[in-house]
Amino acid sequence: MSMIRHFSGQDIVMMEQRSRAAFINSLSGFKSVSLVGTINNLGQTNLSIFNSVIHIGANPALIGMIIRPNSVNRHTLENLLETNCYTINHINKDIYKKAHQTSARYPKEISEFDAVGLTPEFHSKIKSPYVKESHIKFGLQFAERHDLKINGTILIIGKVIEVFVPENCLTLDGVIDVEKAQTITTSGLDSYHSTNRLSRLTYAKPDTIPSELIEK
């Protein structure tokens, strides 16, 4: 690595607004990137790209995401509170440009599915639309909301109520091979990346060193 550059809190405050957004958005490293599908009670669908989806817990099965209520996310928030449900759909290399385009500020009466050319897919357990072109997708029921006082964003937690996964991406120990499913990752605000597995490591215990895990 080259010389290390130091930025103080004051340096960050003084950055031009868009540079600061790009800089701070880079700090959390690689992020999940997914499409969140919702519908309102009038049957109007919405699709929005999120890079803040996180694991909250496995039992019960909970996934969280941060919503910025004044951003293009606002229709997602309105719809999921109206219907109590939403879908999360992984993004693969074939659809990432269309997925990125859902972040444009379309008026509420335009569905991003139509605008960007992705296909809504409906299943019986949940009203919300899935993305047909997505390989791994799951449906959620709204479960808990936390309003973050410090900047007005909202943590939405949902309970996983169904999951769709390609059969050949399931391993015997429960892991879904998201790389095999061609799921991609993102960094910053606009950079998309495919991945190469380095290895899976064995469960860490104090008196052993981790070794590479061989899948059954």
- 135-154 residues in contact with a copy of itself (CB under 8 A) are 135-136, 138, 143-144, 146, 148-151, 153
- Does position 109 interact with a copy of itself (CB under 8 A)? The reply is no
Hey, is 141 helix, strand or coil?
strand
Cα 86 to Cα 77: distance, rounded to the nearest angstrom: 10
* Residue 122 amino acid letter: F
Q: How far is the CB of 76 from a copy of itself (least distance, A)?
A: 15
Please state the separation of Cα 177 from the chain's center in Å.
16
- Does position 26 interact with a copy of itself (CB under 8 A)? The reply is yes
- Does position 113 interact with a copy of itself (CB under 8 A)? The reply is no
Instruction: Tell me whether residue 18 or residue 41 sits nearer to a copy of itself (CB atom).
Output: 18
Contact assessment for residue 132 and residue 89, using Cβ atoms and an 8 Å cutoff? no
- Does position 214 interact with a copy of itself (CB under 8 A)? The reply is no
- Does position 59 interact with a copy of itself (CB under 8 A)? The reply is yes
Instruction: Tell me whether residue 42 or residue 149 sits nearer to a copy of itself (CB atom).
Output: 149
Contact assessment for residue 197 and residue 213, using Cβ atoms and an 8 Å cutoff? no
